[in-house]
Amino acid sequence: MTSTKTIKRNFSEEDFESALVKAVGNRKNFAIISHPDAGKTTLTEKLLLYGGAIQQAGAVKARGEQRKVTSDWMDLEKQRGISITSTVLQFDYSDNKINLLDTPGHQDFSEDTYRTLAAADNAVMLEDAAKGLEPQTRKLFEVCRMRNIPIFTFINKMDRPGQEPLRLLDEIESELNLATWAVNWPIGSGELFRGVIDRSSKEVILFTRGERGKQSEECHLSLNDPELKSLVESELLDQALEELDLLEMAGSVMDLSKIQAGELTPVFFGSAMTNFGVRPFLDTFLKMAQGPSARPSSNGPVSPTRSEFSGFVFKLQANMDPKHRDRIAFLRVCSGRFEKDMTVQHARTGKAIKLSRPQKLFGQDREVVDDAYPGDIIGLNNPGMFAIGDTLYQGSKVEYEGIPCFSPEIFSWLRNPNPSAFKNFRKGVNQLREEGAVQILYDVDESKRDPILAAVGQLQLEVVQHRLENEYGVATRLESMGYQVARWVDGGWNALDDIGRIFNCKVVKDAWARPVLLFKNQWNLNQLLEEHPDLELRSVAPVVSGVEPISL
Ligand code: G4P
């Protein structure tokens, strides 16, 4: 057992324990879930500004712009001007180390976002006050719900005309079945937005329409301050107070245990662009958010303060730098202390691996990292040995629950018109599947050897084709299958045998040889369920561990 010795180098036993407890205590990580355009880039930028991670507003965008111009990484990103991959941003704020797990901007890549959410301890649900809940946010919310992580809601763009605040809360409660607790309450909206009332301090934080993008000074006044009357129209203040009374009487009560169980969402009203309400949001978030907590594994929950290192891979990214043809595995540290050059066990294969040159990623920038603690994300060079969901550990064996495959909505045959390129075609398809760039399904008829690409968005398929051509030198053809809905069958092939022939449905198998039913539409699926009410179908594939997937 080299583990404990290696981990504790530079530390006495006691110092190590206390350094670990301290590091776990001051770490918080979160991902932002939102629909495109709700203001995620803007909010991220403002949060980083408070953490001193970037010097000027606009830097996140500027970084993006710069990348589009100068980097040759992922041509398609450049051509389309979209952000496809997720990155990680770490910053310090009032003695806390905060990891923001950034997610792709384009909704066709929500699978990547789903996986990133598997590594997040908290989620920030960002809504546009005028639009309320939007489709992408709803989908991502479902993933958070599966893991019961705390969700903090930031209702953005209050400086613009929006929906009634009570209606926005009601929408979250009724449609997501998630109780809400407003941390602050808006006074007016749009042109008449005057600020918010902080519910616990009973102070008014006044909104000043500063210069765009500039950090506005926060002015706090007590609700009893006589000056308030000259600054806020009495009818706007009265209406806000009436609504607050209503919330006090009929709304949920603040309950930290419910927040941390993902049953109650604290709601903040603000405006990221004008930097209004962002700092109070960050302060409250840090008080209420869940720190790195025990994670389920094959041996029961593993505490982050377990002295031996463990973590899991939640995302793979190839060719971030095509000059080096590199592949990066993103690992979330779950317990103990990660140290550069440490030797760990790879749970799936049982091999020992030395982790040299681990990297900390900040957007597209990378630096070599010497150590990392639970809640942190590191990038590992991955010459093909890691797959999504893999556990790495030191000491006694742990294996974390894998990451489920989410329901694809687009299905295409992937044809290789050039048989002499089959070797590369196979290599590319297998590697892209391993990386999770796309799900691969297979026809049950073994004579039909072409794989089926199953994706959440069309662009995901285009990226696969593009990468097959650029990275593996094979030009492929996509042939749409016209199906839109996929379901996994509880009880597997036996359950299917029991019900006999199914109409209006194609049965295929996934990479673990499990049956997957494809339907042209929801109606066909409902019809099957009506005819066979005992059939249990799932939209998310159960996790498989300990079995190697089928390769092409
Ligand atoms: P996203 O990453 O979620 O896609 O959204 P992003 O931050 O890019 O914001 C989308 C648009 O909404 C941007 O405007 C941004 O300036 C604007 N926005 C964000 N927060 C607020 C807010 O609090 N109030 C108002 N009024 N607007 C906000 P754009 O015109 O698309 O881009 P830009 O020219 O402003 O950069």
State which of 345, 363, 393 marks the end of a domain: 393
Where do the DSSP E strands lie in 386-483? 391-393, 410-415, 439-443, 452-455, 477-480
- Could you tell me if residue 371 is inside a domain? yes
Same-domain status, 217 and 300: no
In this predicted structure, the answer to whether residue 320 has a pLDDT above a threshold of 80 is no
How far apart, in Å, are the Cα atoms of 349 and each of 123, 191, 358, 387, 439? 32, 61, 20, 11, 22
Ligand 1 and 524: CB distance under 6 A = no
Mean pLDDT, range 29-58, rounded to an integer: 79
CATH code, 469? 3.30.70.3280
- Could you tell me if residue 550 is inside a domain? no
pLDDT at 550: 83
How far apart, in Å, are the Cα atoms of 8 and each of 13, 337, 342, 343, 438? 7, 9, 11, 13, 40
Ligand 1 and 169: CB distance under 6 A = no
CATH code, 228? 3.40.50.300
In this predicted structure, the answer to whether residue 31 has a pLDDT above a threshold of 60 is yes
Of the two residues 386 and 413, the one the predictor is more confident about is 413
Of the two residues 60 and 105, the one the predictor is more confident about is 105
In this predicted structure, the answer to whether residue 236 has a pLDDT above a threshold of 60 is yes
Is the separation of the CB atoms in 368 and 359 below 8 Å? yes
Same-domain status, 123 and 43: yes
Ligand 1 and 289: CB distance under 6 A = no
Residues 460, 481: Cα–Cα separation, whole Å? 16
pLDDT at 107: 62
How far apart, in Å, are the Cα atoms of 367 and each of 188, 293, 336, 360? 46, 27, 21, 5
Q: 135-147 and 165-176 are packed helices; what angle lies between their axes, rounded to 10 degrees?
A: 50
Confidence of residue 325 (pLDDT cuts 50, 70, 90): low
Residues 178, 456: Cα–Cα separation, whole Å? 25
Same-domain status, 47 and 168: yes
Same-domain status, 162 and 282: yes
Please write the tens of the pLDDT for every residue from 352-367: 999 887 766 655 556 6
Ligand 1 and 38: CB distance under 6 A = yes
Same-domain status, 386 and 463: no
Mean pLDDT, range 418-427, rounded to an integer: 94
Ligand 1 and 189: CB distance under 6 A = no
Please write the tens of the pLDDT for every residue from 244-267: 999 999 999 999 999 999 999 999
Average pLDDT, the chain: 85
Least confident of 71-85, 148-162, 325-339, 486-500: 71-85
Same-domain status, 342 and 324: yes
Same-domain status, 450 and 419: yes
pLDDT at 542: 74
Mean pLDDT, range 410-423, rounded to an integer: 94
Work out whether the CA dihedral 299, 301, 304, 306 comes out positive or negative.
negative
Number of Cβ within 10 Å of residue 304's Cβ equals 24
Q: Please list, in sequence order, all residues whose beta carbon lies within 8 angstroms of the beta carbon of residue 517, skipping any fewer than 6 positions away.
A: 486, 487, 488, 489, 502, 505, 506, 507, 525, 528, 537
In this predicted structure, the answer to whether residue 552 has a pLDDT above a threshold of 80 is yes
- Could you tell me if residue 399 is inside a domain? no
State which of 288, 321, 340 marks the end of a domain: 288
Q: Please list, in sequence order, all residues whose beta carbon lies within 8 angstroms of the beta carbon of residue 26, skipping any fewer than 6 positions away.
A: 95, 96, 97
Of the two residues 87 and 212, the one the predictor is more confident about is 87
Ligand 1 and 41: CB distance under 6 A = yes
Ligand 1 and 271: CB distance under 6 A = yes
Of the two residues 320 and 433, the one the predictor is more confident about is 433
Pick from 383, 300, 370: nearest CA to 337? 370
- Could you tell me if residue 464 is inside a domain? yes
pLDDT at 59: 42
Same-domain status, 247 and 301: no
Q: By three-state DSSP, how is residue 126 classified?
A: strand
- Could you tell me if residue 26 is inside a domain? no
Same-domain status, 436 and 374: no
pLDDT at 55: 43
Ligand 1 and 34: CB distance under 6 A = yes
- Could you tell me if residue 8 is inside a domain? no
Mean pLDDT, range 440-469, rounded to an integer: 90
Please tell me the distance between residue 432's alpha carbon and the centre of ligand 1 in angstroms.
33
Percent over 70 (pLDDT), the chain: 85
- Could you tell me if residue 483 is inside a domain? yes
Percent over 90 (pLDDT), the chain: 55
Q: Whose CA is nearest to atom 12 of ligand 1?
A: 39
State which of 253, 273, 288 marks the end of a domain: 288
In this predicted structure, the answer to whether residue 67 has a pLDDT above a threshold of 50 is no
In this predicted structure, the answer to whether residue 83 has a pLDDT above a threshold of 50 is no
Confidence of residue 551 (pLDDT cuts 50, 70, 90): confident
pLDDT at 370: 82
pLDDT at 444: 93
Mutate which of 41, 42, 215 to test ligand 1's pocket (most atoms within 8 Å of Cβ)? 42
Confidence of residue 484 (pLDDT cuts 50, 70, 90): very high
Least confident of 72-81, 124-133, 414-423, 445-454: 72-81
Residues 374, 310: Cα–Cα separation, whole Å? 9
Least confident of 99-113, 260-274, 357-371, 406-420: 357-371
Of the two residues 113 and 279, the one the predictor is more confident about is 279
Residues 100, 377: Cα–Cα separation, whole Å? 10
Please write the tens of the pLDDT for every residue from 268-299: 999 999 999 999 999 999 999 999 999 999 88
Of the two residues 273 and 57, the one the predictor is more confident about is 273
Q: How many domains does the chain have?
A: 3
Which amino acid belongs to residue 533?
A: P
Same-domain status, 50 and 153: yes
Please tell me the distance between residue 270's alpha carbon and the centre of ligand 1 in angstroms.
13
**Structural domain boundaries, residue 336:** 295-393
In this predicted structure, the answer to whether residue 102 has a pLDDT above a threshold of 80 is no
In this predicted structure, the answer to whether residue 64 has a pLDDT above a threshold of 50 is no
Mean pLDDT, range 432-451, rounded to an integer: 89
Same-domain status, 122 and 170: yes
Residues 112, 356: Cα–Cα separation, whole Å? 26
Pick from 169, 207, 202: nearest CA to 188? 207
Number of Cβ within 10 Å of residue 69's Cβ equals 8
Of the two residues 94 and 106, the one the predictor is more confident about is 94
Residue 434: which region, alpha, beta or left (left: phi > 0; alpha: psi -120 to 50)? alpha
- Could you tell me if residue 98 is inside a domain? yes
Same-domain status, 448 and 361: no
Residues 312, 239: Cα–Cα separation, whole Å? 50
pLDDT at 77: 46
